[in-house]
Amino acid sequence: MSDRYDIAIVGTGPAGLEAAINAKIRNKNIIVFGNKDLSPKLVKAAKVNNFLGFYNISGVDLKNQFANHIAAMGIGIINEKINNIYAMGEYFALMVNEKVYEAKTIILATGIEYTKPLKGEEEYLGKGVGYCATCDAPLYKGKTVVIIGYNKESIEETNYVNELSTKTYYIPMYRGEYNLNKGVEIINGRPLEIVGEDVVTKLILDKGEIITDGIFMLRDSVSPSQLVPGIEIEEGHIKVDRDMKTNIEGCYAAGDCTGKPYQYMKSAGEGLVAAASAVSYLDRSHENK
């Protein structure tokens, strides 16, 4: 069993990192999940003019400033995607494929997907549509699978699925190098609709269609209700109060995932508040013991 952390932070954009530095300042034992590029949205920004103290900075330079800041404070990032988080009463269980991490509190700073779900995606979720290829790959042993990949991390998951499936199609939704196994067929097209009967049967694209048993949508973030069963959602965002508290005891959220405006400073500010709230919650629980 892994150590039980005081605070697990999910997401390494401005919300998650601001939460991390404040939790660290408050001497909490933290674990931070995300990726080495910190935030795909940060890296994509050509120029940022509204981040206080960094006029006219590029997104990449701002990312490097963030990276230097957390490195100077000795904060590391676990380069793993959390698939599910379960509230277990006294603690939370964070699942990464076959691994489980435990934390007394969590801060969700997962950002938001700008892309809308595909037609049929929500209807067939769990009936052939999935968001975690490595978790569900064994279900598709000897079958046909389509992976719609929105980032380069989806490559590794696709190669893993390909080891089990009979046929794997990969539809890249971004430009880059696709370091895929030989058996994976790349399809260049725009997915339009997922069709099925009781379960998924095919994917319709702008040019043609693919008959398939399963479809994985591998985006940067999954919807919060998929990630944390039972979390309250309001108009597509995690419902929080002014302390960044969600409806689940010990669970806080910050950044784009809590609502508009989708901006760096708003995200960072909420990350700070979420960390402060998690720290008071931990201190209160400690006093009551």
* Contacting residues toward ligand FAD, per CB under 6 A: 10-16, 33-35, 38-39, 41-42, 44-45, 48, 50, 81-82, 109-111, 220-221, 227, 255-256, 262-265, 267
DSSP per position, 23-54: HHHTT--EEEE--TTS-HHHHH-S-B--STT-
Instruction: Report the distance separating Cα 174 and Cα 256, nearest Å.
Output: 22
Nearer to ligand FAD, 158 or 267 (CB): 267
For ligand FAD, give the closer residue by CB, 34 or 172. Answer: 34
Nearest approach in angstroms of CB 196 to ligand FAD is: 26
Q: Indicate the residue among 34 and 149 with the shorter CB distance to ligand FAD.
A: 34
Nearer to ligand FAD by Cβ, of 63 and 202: the residue is 63
- Minimum CB separation from ligand FAD for residue 84, in Å? 9
Smallest gap from Cβ 18 to ligand FAD, in A, equals: 8
Nearer to ligand FAD, 191 or 255 (CB): 255
- Residue 48 forms beta bridges with which residues? 57
Q: Closest distance between ligand FAD and the C-beta of residue 168, in Å?
A: 23
Tell me the closest approach of the beta carbon of residue 149 to ligand FAD, in angstroms. 14
E strands within 62-166?
84-87, 92-96, 99-108, 129-130, 144-149
Kindly state the tokens that stand for 163: 């080891």
Neighbours of 68 (CB within 10 A): 10
| Beta-sheet pairing, 99-108 with 92-96 | antiparallel
**Shortest Å distance, C-beta 262 to ligand FAD:** 4
Q: How far, in Å, CA of 222 to CA of 212, rounded?
A: 22
Give Cβ neighbours of residue 97 (< 8 Å, ≥ 6 apart).
83, 132, 134, 135
Cα gap 28→278, rounded to integer Å: 10
**61 or 209, CB closer to ligand FAD?**
61
